[in-house]
Amino acid sequence: MAEQLMKYADAVAKYEPVFGLETHVELSTNTKLFCPAHIEFGGQPNSQLTPVSLGLPGSLPVVNKTAIDYAVKLGLALHCDIAEWSQFARKNYFYPDMPRDYQISQYDKPLNGEGYLDVELDDGSVFRVDIERAHVEDDAGKNTHVGGSDGRIEGADHSLVDYNRAGVPLIEIVTKPIEGAGERTPEVAGAYVRAIRDIVRALGISHARMEQGNMRADVNVSLHKKGEPLGTRSETKNVNTFKGIEKTLTYEIRRQAALLEAGGEVLQETRHWDESKQATAGGRVKSDANDYRYFPDPDLVMVHVTREHIEELSKQMPEMPRERRARLKQEWGFTDLQMRDAVNADALDLIQESVEAGSSPAGARKWWMGEISREANERGVSLQELPITPQDVADMEALIESGKLNDKLAKQTVSGVLAGEGKPAEVVAKHGYQVVSDDGALESAVDEALKANPDIVAKLKSGNMKPMGAIIGAVMRATKGQADAKAVSKIVMQRVAK
Amino acid sequence: MDVMPTFTREEIEHLGDLARIALTDEEIERLKGELNVIAESITKVQEVAGDDVPATANPIPLEAYLRPDEAEEPLTQAEALAGAPATEAGMFVAPRILGEE
């Protein structure tokens, strides 16, 4: 049965959304949180395990120091109150991906307490998201449902479990309820999760690849009318794309508004985002937090992070993404829009590396955001996956600067590099690309073109420069694109002035 | 003084459900009695600990040893699966799962 939805504009005009995000970030430590099993994406199933990751009787967890340091760094980036003493607790539930039948998480004594993150929106305005906590916990394994028609739980005969991911360190960043975003709720949520992604990458504490499940979010949202108590929320679990997070909020706001408007009630339930249906679907009624029967894990004593150590880690903090962007924008002289496009295309590092390799910022931007982005879109891959490097771009710019290539030849050279023909110099040599400038060949090509177009010559002589392009075009054709347009134009002017 | 907590029959049944343990009527009655004695003891401890006693999560005056992030030899896949009742394609076979966590 299709659910009733209210038009989004009407829904946010009538109701105030209040939302919250629980963002899970997998840390890129070498080994798991509680045992020295190496972590690697895409390994043979059940090949990255120790007795601890399997929860075998008699095995005991030992905390990974790097995971704690990474979590402290994130706490510093999110301006959290970092607890000198924190504690792991057991969260009890039965599910086959959790071999111990409890997750080791943190409950009343998380490592990172309250903090905040200022999130920049598309129009340049800043929205402050308050953080409730950012605690450390271990991940579960991965279930594959077998026998169903579409791999979903419904209709499956049985499930297969790979525990490689079980025990991978996670940080769960929990926001406070976020109010006042109104119709911009999905945008704020998307910008917030992207900001978290950028921060953990800048800190070097997570690969933060959403497609590999390194990051995922539980999306909570409720609606209420101004001045009235908060409404009942729904929780959509494990949304693993930025767009999915935004769409979940849009959908839930529309669905809940229609429900409330019809006099119905929102169920406190967990839902999931169904990408194929572009809708959230109901799951089960959420269990009471008490049902998890949290208690301090008796296998683990408290984790002590000294003030001195936190101070030491704070000195290792890199420049944060927002500050870095502001600085680069200034240095490069980009407009807001140019900067945002580069960020959204994930081209910032590539442009920076090109500039470091000698390119002008404008030149680097032109290539990465132009020809190269087009090629990436066509192939459906990221810029980083294409066979062209920042050094190649800088070399291209040098060839253009020195007058060895014109725009047209430069584009052909880039096409060659993208087609795997080699480095720019190799592509130039292979095709014999060379700008024909002030030699006799160019002059005779111009003369040919002028002779073939007496009417244009007449216009040029009368001071009408509009047909100049036609002559340049003819010379380009004659020289197979190797002419320097500026040189051609100069010769034409000399000829018609006579 | 804190009010003495008491476990009801329904709460014992609920705890049994959460632990996936089927309890007989007799077991429920016995557990109800035992748990209420435990709750009573905890209430006494709370009475003794006044405002001057700081709350503590762990009685052991120790801090966790933090190990370096260095990998050690893992179990082989065969070793990892050795205790599994059934396996398929290098994975543990679990019964059909109802409802996602």
For the stretch A315-347, pLDDT in tens is 999 999 999 999 999 999 999 889 988 988 889
Q: Does A291 touch chain B (CB under 8 A)?
A: yes
CB contact set of A316 (below 8 Å; sequence gap of 6+): A73
The verdict on residue B24 lying in a domain is yes
Please compute, for residue A125, the number of CA atoms within 13 A of its CA located in the half-sphere on the CB side: 6
pLDDT computed for residue A434 by the predictor: 77
Q: Does A272 touch chain B (CB under 8 A)?
A: yes
| Residue in B67, B88, B98 nearest the CB of A62 | B67
Domains, chain A, in order of start with CATH, read 8-313 (no CATH), 323-423 (no CATH), 440-497 (1.10.10)
The verdict on residue B10 lying in a domain is yes
**Contact yes or no for A31 and B80 at CB 8 A:** no
What is the end-to-end Cα distance of chain B in Å, rounded?
39
Q: Does A296 touch chain B (CB under 8 A)?
A: yes
The verdict on residue B37 lying in a domain is yes
Shortest Cα–Cα distance, B85 to chain A (Å): 12
Q: Structurally, how many domains does chain B consist of? A: 1
> Which residues in chain B have their CB less than 8 angstroms from residue A65's CB?
66-69
Per DSSP, the three-state class of B41 is helix
For the stretch A145-203, pLDDT in tens is 887 655 555 566 888 999 999 999 999 999 999 999 999 999 999 999 999 999 999 99
State what percent of residues in chain A have pLDDT above 70.
96
For the stretch A250-299, pLDDT in tens is 999 999 999 999 999 998 888 999 988 999 988 766 667 788 999 999 99
> Which residues in chain B have their CB less than 8 angstroms from residue A303's CB?
63-64, 66
Q: What span, in angstroms and rounded, lies between the C-alpha atoms of A321 and A339?
A: 13
pLDDT reading at B3 higher than 70? no
CB count in 10 Å sphere of residue A6: 21
Shortest Cα–Cα distance, B1 to chain A (Å): 23
**Contact yes or no for B57 and A302 at CB 8 A:** yes
Burial of A56 (0-12, 13-18, 19+ CB in 10 A): middle
What are the beta bridge partners of residue A104?
A: A90
The verdict on residue B47 lying in a domain is yes
The verdict on residue B27 lying in a domain is yes
SS (H, E, C) A250-315: HHHHHHHHHHHHCCCCCCCEEEEEECCCCEEEEEEECCCHHHHCCEECCCCCEEECCHHHHHHHHH
For the stretch A27-68, pLDDT in tens is 999 999 999 999 998 889 999 999 999 999 999 999 999 999
Preferred mutation among A164, A302, A305 to probe B, highest tally of B CBs within 10 A: A302
Of the listed ranges A111-120, A134-143, A422-431, the one predicted with least confidence: A422-431
pLDDT computed for residue A225 by the predictor: 95
∠ CA A396-A398-A399, rounded to 5°: 65
Q: Look up residue A48 and give its two tokens.
A: 């990255």
CB contact set of A244 (below 8 Å; sequence gap of 6+): A273, A275
For the stretch A197-220, pLDDT in tens is 999 999 999 999 887 889 999 999
For the stretch A395-423, pLDDT in tens is 999 988 887 888 888 888 999 999 999 99
CATH code for the domain of B21: 1.10.20.60
**Contact yes or no for B101 and A95 at CB 8 A:** yes
Q: Provide the CA B97 distance to its chain's centre, in angstroms.
A: 22
**Contact yes or no for A31 and B81 at CB 8 A:** no
For the stretch A357-369, pLDDT in tens is 999 999 999 999 9
Give the H/E segment covering residue B93: strand B91-95
pLDDT reading at B100 higher than 50? no
Question: Residue B58: which pLDDT band, with cuts at 50, 70 and 90?
Answer: low
**ipTM of this complex:** 0.86
pLDDT computed for residue A393 by the predictor: 94
Per DSSP, the three-state class of A193 is helix
CB count in 10 Å sphere of residue A488: 25
pLDDT computed for residue A287 by the predictor: 66
Average pLDDT, integer, range B42-62: 79
The verdict on residue B77 lying in a domain is no
* CB < 8 Å from B in window 99-158 of A: 108-109, 140, 143-146, 153, 156-158
Per DSSP, the three-state class of A117 is strand
The verdict on residue B9 lying in a domain is yes
Q: What span, in angstroms and rounded, lies between the C-alpha atoms of A396 and A390?
A: 10
∠ CA A393-A399-A405, rounded to 5°: 115
User: b or e along A26-42 (b: 16 or more beta carbons within 10 Å of the residue's beta carbon)?
Assistant: bbbbbbbbbbbbbbeee
For the stretch A76-114, pLDDT in tens is 999 999 999 999 999 998 888 888 999 999 999 999 999
**Which amino acid, one-letter code, is at A306?**
T
Burial of B23 (0-12, 13-18, 19+ CB in 10 A): middle
The whole domain housing B30 covers: 1-51
The verdict on residue B28 lying in a domain is yes
For the stretch A431-489, pLDDT in tens is 888 776 656 778 888 888 888 888 888 888 888 888 888 888 888 888 777 777 888 88
